[in-house]
Amino acid sequence: MPKIIIDTDIGGDVDDVLALALALNSPELEVLAVTTVNTDPAMRARIAAKQLRVFGRADIPVASGAKDQFDGSPTSCKDINQAVLLDLADPPAPTSIAEDLIIKTVQEHDDIILVGIGCYTNIAKAFKKAPDVMQRLNRLVLMGAKLESPAWESNINDDPSAAAYVFGLPVGKVLVTYDVSVKCRYQRHRHSDLEEAGHPRAKFLADAIEAWQNGRFAGNRTVEPWLYDPLTLGILIDPSLVEQTEEICVGMRLDPDAPHPVAVVQDGPPNVEVVHKVDRMKFEEMFSERIKR
């Protein structure tokens, strides 16, 4: 059973909430810790902690990351539309620090997989702070980058210095790119299944989807969530979902004259195993069944 830490920018795009739900509802995974990253990580930690309580897993520790990028630059301002899921009864954000919780968890357990589904700030800080400990990781499994046609992608753009550092780390890495994950959707006809499931977990997820639709799409209920981050967890739950991978060298193009820093394929020794193709239909069926459990 893979033992995982989930590092997430939960609270904006709804795929993070859905990814955490998929992990918690899947007996194939053991979630040991959750850390939050990007704009207002403390608020994001409160959302993650609430989801863990709703899912009956308040025992899983949560920690929030720093407010700045890896190089000290301020984070980009991103909305946290799912803050509406919180109420006055929910406790304040945990006081523990993300990179410290990551390091502590890796110290205490063998064969950890660190899953990065936000920008890579906390991951970079953990490796910089305790490189000898972090070398014990089984591997990093990351969501991010557009490699087929290099362009802006949130997890890369939100901390390009961290991405450059993490791609260069001497540890095994699996990368689930935007190119493959954007093809996976939580189809609209399944929303009623979730709403009719009739338990608090399903209601929390339905409310999160509605908050995302209200915050990003002016209340348009026809918008279907993309499953970028859930796919990243899905390939750990069922490795047979992966149909094609390639080991390549990925780095950052930090051209000051370009509009955005981007991840690109470079010449050099392979440093990342990139997932190129998955069984999309099989994954969407598994995801839809798992989250309404």
Q: Report the predicted TM-score, pTM, of the whole model to 2 decimal places.
A: 0.96
Q: What is the pLDDT of residue 31?
A: 98
What is the residue extent of each domain of the chain?
A: 3-291
Residue 247: the pLDDT is 98
Q: Tell me what pLDDT residue 118 has.
A: 97
What is the token pair recorded at 78?
């991103």
Q: What single-letter DSSP state applies at residue 223?
A: P
CB 119 within 8 A of CB 73: no
Residue of 97, 110, 185, 182 whose CA lies nearest to 147: 182
pLDDT at 7: 98
DSSP string of 95-138? -SBHHHHHHHHHHHSSSEEEEE-S-SHHHHHHHHH-HHHHTT-S
The predicted structure's pLDDT at residue 76 = 80
State the SS3 of 15-60: HHHHHHHHHHCCCCCEEEEEEECCCCHHHHHHHHHHHHHHCCCCCC
Indicate the helix (H) or strand (E) that contains 267. Answer: none
> Which segments in the chain show pLDDT lower than 70?
257-258
Confidence (pLDDT) at 173: 98
* pLDDT (0 to 100) of residue 95: 85
Partners of 277 in the β-ladder:
244
Domain 3-291 annotated CATH 3.20.20.370: no
End-to-end, the C-alpha distance of the chain in Å comes to: 20
Token readout for 238 is 């069922």
